[in-house]
Amino acid sequence: MNALLPVPLLIVGGGAAGLFAGCRAGECGLGALILERKHKPGRKLLMCGNGRCNLTKDIPPAQMLRDMGEPMTAFLAPALDLLPPSAVQNWFEQHNVPLKKMDDRRVFPRSEQASDVVHALMDALRDTGTALCLNAPVERVERVEGGFHVAAAHFSVMAQRVLIATGGVSYPKTGSVGDGQKFAKALGHSLKPYRPGLIGFMLSHPWVDAHGGSTFEQTTFRVFRNGQKIYEGQGQMDCETWGVGGAAAYNASRCVARLNLNDFEIEWTVGRDTVRVANPETRPLKEAIVTIGGVPLSEIDPATMESRKCPGLYFAGEVMDVDGPTGGYNLTAAFATAALAVASVARSQGRDGVAGEPARPAARDLRARPTVQKSGPHKPYGYKFQRK
């Protein structure tokens, strides 16, 4: 009898990054196993874009990188080189998710159903014979000779390589509770403190009271430090009972969090009204669209997504200190880092997978060529996310 072999690639987390990584691994014939904490995969994906799922933004990668700002610009360049927004769109269209583009270039499934996105990923896992194990919260990842020992609640697995794709720490009911960051720490990484990335500002102001419940489609939102404007952006703003939310406020909050501002002012202009408020607090981290902080980018090789602290360990998605504005940037980052990690693992195992060589992305066009027959149109995914 043959000796038992370790799993070539064990993926911890079945969210956007982990599911996409599993699909890419399957497409290049790399045996992968995904362990997912929850009884259903992709719970946060199902919430994306209010259930419509803003998959990406149809802009050149250079513009996407610029919009995200440092430290993401330099770090994500190889990943977006390998899987630019156009390739994200091609992958989903080739996997039976027709897309539509909005005037501002945001891309959604034509059905406006996030469940179609999860369903496409599940179909691709099935079609490539990639294993997904649900109800399997990983509790420990240990370095052992020849690879890793990964312990779930009721079983453990030996793996040659491990990809941590456990997400950030917001909306913990979706399963992302910060486990991956703890595994990384136990394997030698430091951690950057968490901050809410895209979130509303809590404030009390007569203008907001007077417009309670209103949504303004075109608002200009600004952030000032020492009286100097350091951020300006346009977008939707919602007046809530607790303050202001919506994409315009969220993107401004990301600037405040990234720059770690304590003393600042926000200002918005709607029609002829301009309102300025000093030092508003943000809503709590658990409500953030994205988590800033986590595994520092300086500790990960941007060309491979491999840990600089623990060889054989890879990262993808929000578990890293990666975040972008609203508009499909965060899912694109999750998919692209997943694709790059899998391509790197495949290369390290001497495989010439469809995920290709990061150094020669144009020659190895990622616009996926599945090696298996594709399934027909998706049936309803049969699962509706309920916020508890």
Q: Which of 7, 16, 65, 120 binds ligand FAD (CB under 6 A)?
A: 16
Direct distance between the N- and C-terminal alpha carbons of the chain, in angstroms, rounded to an integer: 49
8 A C-beta contact, residue 117 and residue 96 = no
C-beta neighbour count of 154 within 10 angstroms: 9
Binding-site size, ligand FAD (CB under 6 A):
41
In the numeric block, which tokens belong to residue 319? 């578990």
Task: Count Cβ atoms below 10 Å from residue 228 Cβ, excluding itself.
Answer: 7
Contact of 56 with 68, CB cutoff 8 Å: no
Q: How far is the CB of 320 from ligand FAD (least distance, A)?
A: 8
Helix (H, G, I), strand (E, B) or coil at 335: helix
115 scored as a contact of ligand FAD (CB under 6 A): no
Assess 130 for contact with ligand FAD (CB under 6 A).
Answer: no
Asked if 305 touches ligand FAD (CB under 6 A), the answer is no
**Amino acid (one-letter) located at 198:** L
Could you tell me which stretch among 41-49, 141-149, 250-258, 268-276 binds ligand FAD (CB under 6 A)? 41-49
By the rule CB under 6 A, 331 interacts with ligand FAD: yes
107, 89 Cβ separation under 8 angstroms: yes
- Residue 260 three-state SS: coil
Amino acid at 255: C
Partnered with residue 266 across adjacent β-strands are: 223, 277
Q: Is 58 in the site for ligand FAD (CB under 6 A)?
A: no
- Give the residue with the Cβ less far from ligand FAD, 334 or 366: 334
Residues 228 to 267 in contact with ligand FAD, rule: CB under 6 A: none
Q: Which of 9, 10, 32, 48 binds ligand FAD (CB under 6 A)?
A: 48
- Any contact of residue 325 with ligand FAD (CB under 6 A)? no
Among the residue ranges 115-123, 153-161, 237-245, 325-333, the one whose residues contact ligand FAD (CB under 6 A): 325-333
Binding window for ligand FAD (CB under 6 A); candidates: 96-104, 168-176, 187-195, 249-257: 168-176
Longest CA–CA span in the chain (Å) reads: 79
Residue from 61, 109, 147, 175 touching ligand FAD (CB under 6 A): that is 175
Closer of 15 and 353 to ligand FAD (Cβ): 15
The yes or no reply on residue 179 touching ligand FAD (CB under 6 A) is: yes
Closest residue by Cα to residue 82 from 371, 330, 368, 370: 368
- Say if CB 149 and CB 156 are below 8 A apart: yes
293 binds ligand FAD (CB under 6 A): no
**Six-digit token pair at 60?**
């050149």
Binding test (CB under 6 A) with ligand FAD, winner from 219, 307, 330, 344 = 330
Three-state secondary structure call for residue 228: strand
Name the one range near ligand FAD by CB under 6 A: 75-83, 210-218, 265-273, 326-334. Answer: 326-334
Is 107 a binding residue for ligand FAD by CB under 6 A? The answer is no
If one asks whether residue 77 binds ligand FAD (CB under 6 A), the answer comes out as no
**Euclidean distance between CA atoms 275 and 243, whole angstroms:** 12
User: Which parts of 245-385 fold into alpha helices (H)?
Assistant: 247-258, 329-348
CB atoms within 10 A of CB 118: 26
- Piece of 22-30, 40-48, 343-351, 367-375 that binds ligand FAD (CB under 6 A): 40-48
- Say how far apart CA 133 and CA 40 lie, in whole Å: 10
Q: Give the range of 10-18, 63-71, 79-87, 206-214 binding ligand FAD by CB under 6 A.
A: 10-18
CB of 365 to ligand FAD, least distance (A): 23
Question: Cβ-count burial of 273 within 10 angstroms (0-12 exposed, 13-18 middle, 19+ buried)?
Answer: exposed
Of 78-86, 244-252, 293-301, 317-325, the segment contacting ligand FAD by CB under 6 A is: 317-325
Query: Which residue in 328, 353, 358, 361 binds ligand FAD (CB under 6 A)?
Result: 328
Rounded to the nearest angstrom, the gap between the alpha carbon of residue 330 and the centroid of all alpha carbons in its chain is 5
CA 136 – CA 231 distance, rounded (Å): 43
Task: Decide whether 30 or 331 has the Cβ nearer to ligand FAD.
Answer: 331
Binding residues for ligand FAD, rule: CB under 6 A, are 12-18, 35-38, 43-45, 47-49, 53-54, 137-138, 165-167, 170-171, 174-177, 179, 289-290, 317-319, 328-331, 334
